[in-house]
């Protein structure tokens, strides 16, 4: 006969916690089903299979554990009643259909996996979305109760009560859909409960976002304005470095090392798609690098100070630090540098990328832009650059109304 027990797995997470799981044992063979929660050893009573009262959510978790263990035991007995020689794998499959049938544990597992994968930006965005969806439902909810009607009411709540934009509302739905997909992949949810797509499901379509760069006049103002504050000058240097290198992503700018510069060229690998490339080193960038050279300690040292002193192998920590640095840089660009330089357009680190695309317009061949942007497919370049090319539309308008 199979035995069912709730245990902490022996696979330690980075924060010192361990996964909580149901362990099924039969004929000396063992299988585990994760419950979507993680605990530290001092928070777990292995003999009683309970969360200790010192844990802030001990009562709720223990109720959850009792329920899931009871359901798993019932399913185990049911499977063995039907077939005497049923395998531990078959019992696990039978039990797994009930262990993750609610949203909260799957959502927590989803967030945990994002964190373990080092995806700080996605984790930081999705965590509050999960929290707000749970608050909307008054707590945990069965997947079968997350219907098209409920999601429509949630959309209305986001728009009316929280003032969310159409883009933000779609991002909430994308998050919920990702958790549904995970539950189906984990075989804890039947596809018949999937409320997305098809003729009667919720269809997710992201509204087009406006991509606007600043004018060449504003770029010149930024280049020439006198900034006596060191932090202001540093923010400007980051923006200009991004712009001078064909709109390099700010995350790649912050990761630049002195060893990336050889023979008056930049050799670097783009963080987003691992594309390798090389660019000529503009004279304007050389003048920026001269400001940071006194802080150079080794050939492979970072050029800019934002990520110095942290473990660069810790992807989650690096992305967290990058996010903090970008937010601070944008604050300086918008609140201080824009009025000082009398720049008319909106200034942010990402606008540097849009500015290069705007000024490139249709002057640079698509194949060359594809190389500069490190796009794998020229169609990606065409789609991106189309937002910045106005010549044909302007000429058509002029032909009609005689501007």
Q: Which residue has the tokens 């109760």?
A: 145
- Helix H or strand E encompassing 31: strand 29-39
Integer Cα distance of 59 and 207 in angstroms: 43
The pair phi, psi for residue 202, each rounded to 5°, is -75, 125
CB 121, CB 319: distance < 8 Å = yes
Closest C-alpha among 352, 386, 350, 351 to residue 366: 386
Give Cα 105 distance to the centre of its chain: 20
Q: Delimit the CATH 1.10.150 region(s) of the chain.
A: 105-193
Number of residues written out for the chain: 403
Q: How is 343-389 classified by DSSP, letter by letter?
A: --S---HHHHHHHHHHHHTTTS-HHHHHHHHT-SSHHHHHHHHGGG-
CA dist 374 to 210, 267, 270, 371, Å?
Answer: 22, 13, 8, 5
Would you say domain 105-193 falls under CATH 1.10.150? Answer: yes
CB 209, CB 167: distance < 8 Å = yes
Question: From start to end of 220-294, where are the E strands?
Answer: 261-262, 265-269, 276-280
CB atoms within 10 A of CB 238: 23
CB 253, CB 242: distance < 8 Å = yes
Give Cα 368 distance to the centre of its chain: 29
* Stated pTM of the model: 0.63
CB atoms within 10 A of CB 5: 15
392 contact partners, CB below 8 Å, separation of at least 6: none
Q: Delimit the CATH 1.10.443.10 region(s) of the chain.
A: 216-360
Which listed CATH number (1.10.443.10, 3.70.10.10, 3.90.230.10, 1.10.3720.10) goes with 216-360?
Answer: 1.10.443.10
Integer Cα distance of 248 and 266 in angstroms: 12
β-strand pairing of 29-39 with 18-26: antiparallel
Integer Cα distance of 278 and 267 in angstroms: 5
402 contact partners, CB below 8 Å, separation of at least 6: none
Closest C-alpha among 287, 291, 315 to residue 303: 291
Instruction: Say whether 1 sits in a helix, a strand or coil.
Output: coil
CB 307, CB 251: distance < 8 Å = no
Residue 308 is predicted with a pLDDT of: 93
Residue 99 is predicted with a pLDDT of: 45
Per-residue pLDDT of the chain (403 residues; tens, 9 = 90+): 778 899 998 888 777 888 888 888 887 888 887 787 888 999 999 999 999 999 888 888 899 888 888 888 877 776 666 565 566 666 666 565 544 478 998 899 899 989 888 899 999 999 999 999 999 999 888 888 899 999 999 999 999 999 999 999 999 999 999 999 998 887 778 888 999 998 889 999 887 766 778 888 999 999 999 999 999 999 999 999 999 988 888 999 999 999 999 888 888 776 665 677 778 888 999 999 999 999 998 888 999 999 999 999 898 999 999 999 999 999 999 999 999 999 988 899 989 988 888 777 666 665 666 656 656 666 665 555 555 454 554 454 454 555 4
Closest C-alpha among 362, 358, 342 to residue 216: 358
**Token reading at 325:** 């640095």
Integer Cα distance of 246 and 269 in angstroms: 14
Residue 393 is predicted with a pLDDT of: 44
CB 13, CB 116: distance < 8 Å = yes
């Amino acid at each position: 006969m199979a035995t069912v027990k709730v245990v902490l797995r022996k696979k330690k997470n980075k924060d010192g916690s361990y996964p909580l799981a149901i362990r099924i044992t039969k004929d000396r063979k063992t299988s585990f089903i994760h419950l979507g929660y993680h605990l530290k050893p001092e928070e777990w009573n292995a003999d009683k299979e309970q969360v200790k009262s010192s844990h802030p959510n001990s009562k709720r978790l223990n109720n959850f554990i009792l329920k899931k263990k009871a359901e798993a035991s019932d399913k185990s007995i049911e499977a063995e009643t039907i077939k005497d020689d049923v395998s531990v794998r078959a019992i696990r499959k039978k039990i797994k259909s009930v262990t993750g049938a609610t949203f909260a544990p799957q959502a927590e597992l989803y967030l945990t996996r994002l964190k373990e994968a080092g995806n700080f930006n996605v984790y930081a965005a999705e965590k509050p979305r999960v929290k707000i969806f749970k608050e909307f439902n008054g707590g945990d909810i069965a997947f079968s109760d997350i219907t098209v009607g409920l999601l429509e009411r949630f959309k209305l709540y986001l728009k009316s009560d929280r003032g969310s934009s159409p883009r933000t509302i779609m991002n909430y739905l994308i998050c919920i859909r990702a958790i549904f997909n995970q539950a189906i992949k984990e075989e804890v949810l039947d596809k018949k409960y999937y409320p997305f797509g098809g003729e009667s499901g919720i269809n997710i379509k992201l509204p087009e976002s406006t991509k606007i760069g600043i004018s060449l006049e504003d770029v010149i103002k930024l280049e020439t304005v006198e900034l006596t504050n060191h932090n202001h000058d540093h923010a400007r240097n980051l923006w200009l470095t991004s712009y001078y290198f064909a709109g390099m992503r700010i995350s790649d700018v912050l990761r630049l090392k002195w060893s990336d510069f050889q023979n008056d060229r930049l050799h670097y690998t783009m963080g987003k798609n691992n594309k390798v490339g090389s660019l000529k080193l503009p004279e304007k960038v050389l003048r920026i690098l001269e400001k940071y050279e006194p802080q150079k300690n080794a050939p492979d040292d970072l050029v800019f100070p934002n990520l110095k002193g942290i473990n660069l192998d810790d992807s989650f920590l690096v992305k967290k630090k990058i996010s903090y640095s970008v937010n601070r840089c944008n604050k300086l660009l918008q609140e201080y540098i824009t009025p000082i330089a009398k720049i008319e357009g909106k200034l942010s680190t990402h606008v540097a990328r849009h500015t290069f695309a705007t000024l490139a317009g249709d002057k640079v061949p698509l194949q060359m832009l594809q190389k500069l942007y490190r796009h794998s497919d020229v169609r990606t370049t065409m789609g991106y650059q189309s937002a910045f090319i106005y010549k044909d539309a302007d000429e058509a308008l002029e032909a009609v109304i005689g501007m």
